[in-house]
Amino acid sequence: MSRPVLLILLLVLSPVAGRAQTNAPSDSSGIARLNDSLVAATRAMDNEATLRLWEDDGISLLPGMAPIMGRKSIGAFMYRVTGTLPGAHVERFDFACHNITVSGDWASEWCTEHQIIHFANGTPSFDGWGKLLFILHRSAGGSWRIRTEMWNQAMPESAGRE
């Protein structure tokens, strides 16, 4: 895969943010916490922290790829991607979520993101924008987890800003 594709995928699998912003109805504080955790894990490029936010049967729908089914497969993919980017770090990640809708133990939200990734080897930074749609599920313990995510490219002017 080309570097931009890898970066996009990296981003998709580990959403981060300048500050997680939610248009939150009353009972969506748990979802705001999930978004904040996604932001923190992505900023830190912490794959294990990101994987803890996924359900066991999570599904990641990334452009130009077959669906990635299950947290185990998502994790394997995530480590393959980050393994190709030694020394990379997240310079900036703005992440804003909208239209959070909760019904019982299921919820959805769509988000916009803007990422700037810095490389150790002198390669120019990657500056990309994307949109995400999430299906979330509340676990038995009460925490919200990602069941399904899809990503596609955004126009710069449509993505969230700090």
Contact footprint for a copy of itself (CB under 8 A): 59, 61-67, 99, 101, 103-106, 108, 110, 131, 133, 135, 147-148, 150-155, 157-158
Q: Give me 1's structure tokens.
A: 């895969």
Give the separation between CA 146 and CA 19, rounded to whole angstroms: 19
In the complex, least distance from residue 78 CB atom to a copy of itself, rounded to whole angstroms: 18
Residue 69 or 120 with smaller CB distance to a copy of itself: 69
Pairing of strands 89-103, 106-118: antiparallel
In the complex, least distance from residue 86 CB atom to a copy of itself, rounded to whole angstroms: 28
Residue 64 or 86 with smaller CB distance to a copy of itself: 64
In the complex, least distance from residue 3 CB atom to a copy of itself, rounded to whole angstroms: 18
Residue 31 or 62 with smaller CB distance to a copy of itself: 62
Residue 2 or 103 with smaller CB distance to a copy of itself: 103
Give the separation between CA 19 and CA 34, rounded to whole angstroms: 13
Give the rounded distance of the alpha carbon of 82 from its chain centre.
14
The alpha carbon dihedral of 161, 4, 86, 59 has a sign of positive
